Amino acid sequence: MKINELKSILQKKGADAALFYNSDPIKINPNMFYFSGYKGLGALIIPSKKPPFLITPYMELQRAKNSMIKRACSMEKKRFFESIYGIMKKNKLKIKKIAIDKNNFTLNSYRHFKKQFKKAKAIDLALDCLKLRTIKTDKEIKFLRKSCSCADKIIQKAIRNFKDFRTESEAAAFLEYETKKLGLELSFSPIVASGSNASMPHHEPLNMKIKNGFCVLDFGVKYNGYCSDITRTIYVGNPNREERETYNTLLSIQNNSINQVKNNKKCSELYDFAVKNLGHKRKYFTHGLGHGVGVEIHEMPNLTLNSKDRIKNNMVFTIEPGVYIPRKFGIRIEDTILFKNNPIVLTKTSKDLLTIN
């Protein structure tokens, strides 16, 4: 995506090329994937005035050639950055000023990089990439819509089958199975948190009987590499009046927060709005109101207290207020939202309080 936009940025900054790398076969460099569609080992070089190319270990070459970048060459059996430097030299690329992504560049990789690129000045592209990624293209919006509709289908199936799950692990396993069966990836490891476990926003599902009370299901898939994110809280057993009220208050705050989303609105104001409406429960709301969603599950904009971000057209982000009473219970309601003149809720699963008996 947006390789030409990146090239303009490089030219503006006087950089000869951008360099992204991935040296861990089980991780994805989000920017390398964003610009190339390639998830494997190696490096992506985007010269400011020439076509981009991938440099990969020989065993990944076939995979690289299946990506959006048509040119791929193989590393020789040398050190990682030595190989990259050699190939850039051979391609007669200027390497006086190289743009790198300092959010995805470790100190030790940089040390190896500097040994080769001795005279190159390294400038940071991290924020530029994050900003480019904030505004989605039509193609990305198509993928994100599809990602959300898949997540909807799967979470609805899980809720319909919820009675059959004995443990949190079983419910999480079901969500994963349905995801993988469709040839999709998870956005993140699903959260299934029942009873007092739900008071930990990042609880990991346990191989223990699902407890009575609120049960938080936080889930998302990746469609063509693009994430969705949805949370529903259901109730196992019969909620009392107070519990129902707490749930419905949070739900109306979530709906009203979505309705507050306007063009150019400060994200920190959206956060403030939710906090104010929580009243004396605000101290139990212990995370941000939301985050951007794209090739990463957490990206810009940040809907937090100190955020400087503003809502713009073609942004995709979550709205997810929550209430967590330590050692007692937790409730979170989350949708993925596309902003296009108006907020469009992409995750459509019902938010009415559902009880499982």
Q: Does 261 bind its own copies (CB under 8 A)?
A: no
Cβ(115)–Cβ(81) under 8 Å?
A: yes
Nearest to 334 by CA among 142, 323, 342: 323
272 contacts: CB under 8 Å, gap ≥ 6 = 305
R_g of the chain computed on alpha carbons: 23
The angle that helices 138-160 and 168-181 make with each other, rounded to 10 degrees, is 140
Dist CA 274 CA 278 (whole Å): 6
Range in contact with its own copies (rule: CB under 8 A) among 168-176, 272-280, 311-319, 341-349: 168-176
Contact with its own copies (CB under 8 A) among 92, 118, 183, 308:
183
Contact with its own copies (CB under 8 A) among 33, 53, 85, 105:
105
Kindly write out the interface string for residues 8-37 of this chain, putting x where it contacts its own copies by CB under 8 A and - elsewhere.
----------------xxx-----------
Dist CA 301 CA 69 (whole Å): 28
What would the two tokens of residue 245 be? Answer: 């009220």
Nearer to its own copies, 156 or 304 (CB): 304
Q: Does 162 bind its own copies (CB under 8 A)?
A: no
Cβ(44)–Cβ(125) under 8 Å?
A: no
Nearer to its own copies, 55 or 261 (CB): 55
Q: Does 157 bind its own copies (CB under 8 A)?
A: no
Site for its own copies in 114-153 (CB under 8 A): 124, 126
42 contacts: CB under 8 Å, gap ≥ 6 = 21, 22, 54, 55, 56, 57, 60, 64, 75
Compute the least distance from the CB of residue 143 to its own copies, in Å: 16
Compute the least distance from the CB of residue 67 to its own copies, in Å: 12
Contact with its own copies (CB under 8 A) among 195, 205, 294, 321:
205
Q: Does 241 bind its own copies (CB under 8 A)?
A: no
Q: Does 108 bind its own copies (CB under 8 A)?
A: yes
Dist CA 305 CA 77 (whole Å): 49
Dist CA 136 CA 134 (whole Å): 6
Contact with its own copies (CB under 8 A) among 111, 114, 160, 163:
111
Dist CA 335 CA 228 (whole Å): 9
279 contacts: CB under 8 Å, gap ≥ 6 = none
Range in contact with its own copies (rule: CB under 8 A) among 46-54, 97-105, 143-151, 341-349: 97-105
Range in contact with its own copies (rule: CB under 8 A) among 5-13, 58-66, 269-277, 348-356: 58-66
Dist CA 336 CA 231 (whole Å): 9
Contact with its own copies (CB under 8 A) among 67, 199, 233, 318:
199
Q: Which residues bind its own copies (CB under 8 A)?
A: 24-26, 39-41, 57-60, 62-63, 77, 100, 102-108, 110-111, 124, 126, 167, 169-170, 172-174, 176-183, 185, 188-189, 199-207, 286-287, 297-298, 305, 324, 326-327
